Amino acid sequence: MAKLKVKIPKSLKKRIKEVSKKHDIGTVDEVVKHFINRGLKVYGAPEDASLEDRMDHVVDDQGYSSVEELVEHLLLRGLRAYEEADDPAALEARLRGLGYID
């Protein structure tokens, strides 16, 4: 897998690693890529464009001040989805509702 070309805020790295380990959903880069791709899909970013173009589209369309702000928001959104539910059935329903799983 190619190296992800987004800057992960230092304050979120530990939480992402913990979620990755707890839910066995891959490496930190894979989790970050998943959170970002799902979030961009929710915001209607064109799926056939590059990651950078998709992020730029959402920044412009949704009024974010920067790509970094968008990335931080998408990562926090993904983390909250996985961190808040203790019951496996509730977690699955929450992730499905937020678009993280189909």
Q: CA 44 to CA 61: how far, in whole Å?
A: 9
Q: Report yes or no: 87 and 95 within 8 Å, Cβ to Cβ.
A: no
Q: How many domains does the chain have?
A: 1
64-102 tens-digit pLDDT: 999 999 999 999 999 988 887 667 787 788 778 877 777
Could you tell me the pTM of the whole model?
0.79
Distance, C-alpha 57 to centroid of its chain: 16
* Domain range enclosing 24: 10-98
Place of tokens 């929710």: 42
In a domain, 5, yes or no: no
In a domain, 39, yes or no: yes
